[in-house]
Structure 1
Amino acid sequence: MSPVGMVRTALPNMDREARDQYLLVIQAKDMGGQMGGLSGTTTVTVTLTDVNDNPPRFSRKSYQFGVPESLPVASVVARIKALDADVGPNAEMEYRIIEGDGLGVFRVEPDKDTQEGVITLLKTLDYETKSSYTLKIEASNRHVDPRYRSQGPYSDTATVRLTVDNVDEPPVFSAPVSKMVVSEAAKVGTIIGSVSAADPDVTNSPIRYSIDRNTDLERFFNIDAMTGVISTAKALDREVNAVHNITILAIESLDPSQVGKGITLITVMDVNDNAPVFAIEYETFLCESATPGQVIETISAVDKDEPPSGHRFFFSLTADTAGNHNFTLRDNKDNTASVLTKRGGFHRREQSLYRLPVLIVDGGSPALSSTNTLSIRVCECDPDGAPQACGTEAFLLTAGLSTGALTAILACILTLLVLVLLIVTVRRRKKEPLIVDDERDVRENIVRYDDEGGGEEDTEAFDMAALRHLNAARETKTRRDVTPDIPALYHSRPPAYKAAPDHGVFRDFIWERLKEADVDPGAPPYDSLQTYAFEGNGSAAQSLSSLESLSSNSEHNYDFLSDWGPRFKKLADLYGHGEGSSVFSS
């Protein structure tokens, strides 16, 4: 068996915190270490493990922190940490407050990751009440090695002073929620109650009060800005709003940005200001075969008021109908009443509808009453008492249509009829457009006259009747698809005039122009009037026109005819058409 080398400690007390690792070189020799023997070496690393032989220690004996008074509960106030030379579980610590005036206001807990003592807030702070707190905090090892307990305490303490910082706080109401009661009969200006708030800061700023109008849109209430007294600003109606939930604002005069809010609940007490009425709109039917004393309807009433002891209604017939021979009323003493017949032998043909006034009185103080009319229709009934024929309205009702449904149907029908009549009226009022298409407005207005006048100033030479009666002077128009008859375009001249020798020249000229107009693709599709200026070979009769009689002594100026006027003069002389000539082209 080979010998084994043992490595032992040479010092009695080794400290891991001073040195936690050693490197050893071990040599082994054979032949007992004699000369000539062989040897070998190896390296051995020795690592010291930790034991909990070091207590925690605070780096400082006292700490001081500032805490704002507005800090919410459960917020972190401060962090402190004790140091421990050990590692791992041996360095885990616990913290606790062992004494001080902050017990119950603060607490301390360890942070498992950083081993810090975390101080948190348990209660709301108030600088004006207490401005500082002192805590004595102990840090100790969670795991203690009994072998080293005798070496000394395994904990340490430190003093923590927490100073409360003053913060400008909004006003605080003496009661967050205040309740008030007012009668709905209260007059405008009636005082309901008051609220109070104060500035919690040392400045003690004066307070001004107002109502948040988002919670009192109709402005039923007012508040005195200085005293906080609340009063009515409008008449109240419990049946409309029984409880008013309004928000009161308290504003610091020195710092208007500091606003406190309080809730005020105002309950409106009921007064008897509503008369009872029928619970529903009754549709009462009476069979012709009804016998005396038969109950034909049971009526009840409702009242918008809410008396503390509940409603109590009294039913009776009005004084003027109490002695009638047809119906009677019986109060059932349970807020209902029964309508009974006093006789039999009702006939629909004699009277189909009865109206019975019913007086209803409530039990309020003072009591209020109202008269409600019950309509009773006489019907022909089957053997089981079901109405069969009560007129048109009753028939529809028995078929399953209520009065509301019938009214809706009739309204729809009336609306449709109005729409139809409106559409028909609009269509009838439609008119033809004022502007007519040019292609549909093809007209032929040609005036032909054979008269040689005395010039532009001579109007007596014209036959004005021919101009007024166009139909008498209208001639047959040539069509574009028919070869025009040139001679037909001209009237025979009076016997006093003879054809000029060169009339063929002018006729050929007109013929050429007509053919050009007929084949011209750019010519209009409707009949048109073609005007030409052509100077022939002269006229044997010369001219009777005044165009050539211009002189310096003339009163008239015809310079505007100087270019083409003479040509039309000669044409007129040739064919006897006055001072100009026009040719109609179709």
Structure 2
Amino acid sequence: MEDPLRRWSCRELLLLFALLGTLCEPGSGQIHYSVREETDKGSFVGNIAQDLGLEPPELAERGVRIVSRGRTQLSLNPRSGSLITAGRIDREELCAQSARCLVSFNILVENKMKIYGVEVEIIDINDNPPRFRDEELKVKVNENAPAGTRLMLPFARDADVGVNSLQTYQLSSNLHFSLDVKSGTDGQKYPELVLERLLDREKEAVHDLLLTALDGGDPVLSGTTRIRVMVLDANDNAPQFTRPEYRVNIPENIPVGTRLLTVTATDPDEGMNGKLTYSFRNEEDKISETFHLDSNLGEISTRQSLDYEESRFYLMEVVAQDGGALLASAKVLVTVQDVNDNAPELLLTSLTSTVSEDCLPGTVIALFSVHDGDSGENGETECSISRNLPFKLEKSVDNYYHLLTAMALDREETSDYNITVTVMDRGTPSLSTENHISLKVADVNDNPPAFSRASYSTSIPENNPRGVSIFSVTASDPDSGSNAQITYSLMEDASQGVPLSSYVSINSDTGVLYALRSFDYEQLRDLQLWVTASDSGTPPLSSNVSLSLFVLDQNDNVPEILYPTLPIDGSTGVELAPRSAEPGYLVTKVVAVDKDSGQNAWLSYRLLKASEPGLFMVGLHTGEVRTARALLDRDALKQSLLLSVQDHGQPPLSATITLTVAIADSIPDVLTDLGRLKPSADQDDSGLTLYLVVAVAVVSCVFLAFVIVLLALRLRRWHSSRLLQAAGSHLTGVPTSHFMGVDGVRAFLQTYSHEVSLTADSRNLIFPQPNYADTLISQESCEKSEPLMISDKINSNEEQGNVQVSFFFQSG
């Protein structure tokens, strides 16, 4: 068959395209085009770019695309900006028998989130010939049928519409029958075979006819079926239905197998001529698949479920035929009533899955359309979202909705949203559909790092190893990604003229502080640091916090004995105690200090060893050396005491000192024992011994000569000591702690100095006036002062011929 499109000239095609262009209405909300069916793939339909006011390259830049719920069979040409056919368009497949075939879809401008409606009318061409259901049909007629008897013939169907649809029938020439065509209320043309001449079965039992159906297209298309008329014996009465047309209304959700209605026909004949059989006449496949007709009872029931959205009514013809081949027909119209059995549908057209937290209110998040397959109120929909969300819905054209931000977003408060869009129809009962839209809020660096506390303080023991971890500061940033990556640093400053960076460092990633040197409590007791936490955002944000670092004292200093000091010239220091001393007599006082602090500097004094046990005792906290009992004659002139000064640290540290106490009531006794204090290295030197004996004898004589002077000095000394005790009585209330070694300790000393000079030349024994000094001796002054000692230098050289002895008697 020749393609009808080929008969169009080029001039006619140009006029057609010009006509299509005039059908577009850019100024209205709907754009209209038209195209003939069966047009080749890629054929021009309309200029979308021009009708949208855009240049062809802008279509891709602005994201212009077709959005549709189904297959549109149309596409956009991005180079020309034209709407073209995407494939073969079959009008009958799209619109069936509809008088006007419109394909509707939408054009989305992505960057503006705008929707434009487009309607394309598919123009019918005569591409479908009329078709009969059966190629051959047998018709029975009684031989005594009168002239004018009408016999029902099958009608043809044409998928085209208008003039291209079925227009008329033709019957092949014969002597007995003619053709009559009637138009039904549905517009369908029904052919009938009319008997023109009486039949004689004995002459001709079968008549073969050809029925042709013609449409009005150009060229005309046709379809044929063979009609075989079987001549039967006489059957006087034809069946007759009680009603010419049956109507029934049923809801679309009735169960399968439900009886819809019963058609009834009667025949007054008897026997086989009166027995009726019911059947569908010329039914479509869809009718026989959907409904069942009981051939004996005439009951019509459903074979499968009905769908109002698929077909709203069914028109069928039922035939009642008797045994004599006479028949009657009646029409049955089944109207399907809509039931709210379709839930609304939501179709996302465009969606933004991530939005920045600093976006302005009114930012478009999603564009979607809503559709409900039901009709009337059952198809009317309402769209909503939860009210406690910072979003809102805004209706656009053609059941499209925009999902917008209603207020400012805060990612730190809510980082993602699960937005539930609910679409509900107005049917009874109402049906609804939910669609979930996930939206993530992108972070913006709007939060500086925050420390967990307003300030920090920590401590570190002195003498710490280098590189030891001191403390860890932690800051948090509610932002995410690089905006929450925190770097720690120390603010530059100086302590005692030294940069803080030489004392402490900080790990920039973890915030752990490390000691760069070993701290000494006695030199540095605290540091004030400022730690800065900065994020990696753009621009970066930061915050500061103060950190107080305290150095804790450790027991790392041994007690230092300030008094008595050890001699530095090789002589032996001696403390003097008279034999007449009473128990509790103050011989001397040991004064010590400790550079540490706290209990590490609390000092206690102990007597470790004595040459005469039980003779002396030491104050535990005062360091005072006193006699424990009265001195006896048998007690040796020289007493050696080993004293310990110990602090209360952990572990405790201590220092020791050896004291030599000379016990004598007379100078000769002291001088006699001087040789014993430091004997000569050569004990077998007899010459030296002789000289010593002579010297002692001379001294004894001199002593006897000056005994009166000595007694006078004794009385004077006793009188002076009484005055001193009266003057120092106010010290009895001084707390012991004033004598303990703490920072800034000052040893309160009472120093008594007695100097006795004896020369061989003058043979004079001189006792100067006592020197009483109440002194607060500091460590420095003690270090610079002369050692308090007994100088026992006996020169064996006869040429010098003199002996000088110095006694220092001190009491603390």
Instruction: Please say whether Structure 1 and Structure 2 have the same fold, judged by a TM-score greater than 0.5.
Output: no
TM-score of the superposed pair, with normalisation by structure 1:
0.32
Q: Which structure exhibits the higher relative contact order, with contacts defined as CA atoms closer than 8 Å and separated by 6 or more residues?
A: 1
- More strand per residue: 2
Larger Rg: 2
